Amino acid sequence: MSRTNIKQRVDKTLEQYPAAVYKNRKEHVLVKNNTFQEPQTITANTRTIPGIITNRGCCYAGCKGVVLGPLRDAVILTHGPIGCGFYTWGTRRNKGKTRGDELNLLNYCFSTDLQEGDIVFGGEKKLRQAIKEAVEIFKPKTVFICATCPVGLIGDDIHAIAAQAEKEYGIKVVAFSCEGYKGVSQSGGHHIANNGLIKHIIGTGDKVVGKYSLNILGEYNIGGDGWELERILKKIGYEIVSMMTGDGMAEDLKSAHKATLNLIQCHRSINYIGEMMYTKYGQDWLKVNFIGVQSTIKSLRNIAKYFDDPDLTARTEQVIADELSEIGPVMEHYRNILKGKTAALFVGGSRAHHYQHLLKDLGVEILLAGYEFAHRDDYEGREVIPSIKADADSKNIESLEVSADPEHYRVFLSKERYEKLKNEIPLNYYAGMIKEMDDGSIVVDDLNHFETEEFLKILKPDIFCSGIKDKYIAHKAGIFSKQLHSYDYSGPYAGFKGAVNFARDIAMGVTTPAWKFVTPPWKKEPMLEGSLVG
């Protein structure tokens, strides 16, 4: 496929919008050009234009559905209509294992089921009753209350009710004002959830941890990803203090401040809490990516560099060698099938970046990548944060200021060691997605239905990695789409064995003859002048 004059072809697609929409959307789309002297910038974290069919979710989805939802020992009570609770009930496939007599509530959907009368007269009485029933039936140590849009509109004081319930039942009860309309999208919900965890949960436990202790932040155990990471890290000799939050427990999060190092997998959903823990407890965070063979190897070696222990480094190399010997032949088999194929990615969180590495391991070329709800630093790197203007929705979300905890703050590295490591590994830093993309690649923020159809028409990728709402656009175009928000019914895809699972699923999807029986829409209509062909 030729990439010459691709900028003009992208512009021709966007020019089909009305003038006002074109002016907005062109700032959310760029073509990577390595010849530019100055870094390329992209507009992100702004509200979607009304009327455009976006694939984004809401603030509540980010708070309850992404960050809090995977915790298995807490009653997570949706205060709102039943549809909101049902929307976040098991759809992400956050798996959890019960160990011994631990509480596992992942299969339950807790909701106050507000009706029209409750909206008119208030739902506080119903919320109090729901908390009472949940405590009596399940006897949890933690209850989280997540508000949806009507609650914010009618003014139920969920925080006062949470404080009253905590005093009455002697357990931790925390309310999150994560009404769906707050923030730009899911990202606002992530922020609200992280603020609540750092204020009310983290730092309240006293678990004794070992020397090589880790928190894994931004890993949601979709399809069992977190279990694969635990297997590898424990094989090397690390202790996992807490998983935020896949297969995680609120009880474990209470002692997260005791760990030596925080690993950040999904930068967008969890970077807030990584930074706050760095300020409050002195814990460094290391940006990792366990999606892809080479990325996993690089991340494991970077972790070992941080701890700077010869025995730990030796065990790391031995585990890498053992894992590679096991998966090498089968990965080569799938690489032979997929080499030369092309892909486009539009996924939430950091997945549009992470999965580029795994696809490249398999010889797949990336034509387009973008996020549903990223900020500019997810695209361009954290060095641009000081230049990012506050968005219009920031007034709706608490900006939590933290300071060093006098009891628990620790210095883990000398100043000299810290400065040396910063030049070797991504310590307290994320470089963003754009820097690692090839020249001529398209980067799109908040890709919508129309643009999805047009870019698939222009680029004709062999694979479209997406979420549940947009995968069918590709299928109707005769293009295989791999759903990366919940992996459909597969996984894990993280780590070494996960890479094999992903390669198998992609190879099966691409080679199935079903796509030959689908006639893409652009074969039924006149081609857009200047489209890329062949």
Q: What is the pLDDT of residues 217-251, one digit of tens each?
A: 999 999 999 999 999 999 999 999 999 999 999 99
Beta bridge partners of 373: none
With cut-offs at 50, 70 and 90, classify the pLDDT of residue 526. low
Q: Dump strand ranges (E) for 48-87.
A: 75-79
- Residue 531 has a pLDDT of 46
Amino acid in position 151? V
**Rounded CA gap, 181 and 8, in Å?**
36
Q: What φ, ψ does residue 97 adopt, rounded to 5°?
A: -110, 135
pTM to 2 decimal places: 0.93
Q: What is the pLDDT of residues 39-59, one digit of tens each?
A: 889 999 988 888 888 888 899
Pairing outcome for strands 29-31 and 442-445: antiparallel
Q: Dump strand ranges (E) for 74-208.
A: 75-79, 110-111, 142-147, 172-176
Catalytic residues: 58, 61, 92, 190
Q: Are 216 and 274 in contact (CB under 8 A)?
A: no
- Residue 34 has a pLDDT of 80
Q: What is the pLDDT of residues 401-439, one digit of tens each?
A: 999 999 999 999 999 999 999 999 999 999 999 999 999
Average pLDDT, the chain: 92
Tell me the three state secondary structure of residue 42.
coil
Q: What is the pLDDT of residues 453-499, one digit of tens each?
A: 999 999 999 999 998 888 899 999 999 999 999 998 999 999 999 99
Q: What average pLDDT does this structure show over 12-20?
A: 87
Could you give the domains of the chain? 60-180 (3.40.50.1980), 213-337+386-422 (3.40.50.1980)
**Rounded CA gap, 126 and 112, in Å?**
6
Cα-to-chain-centroid distance, residue 60:
15
**Rounded CA gap, 252 and 217, in Å?**
13
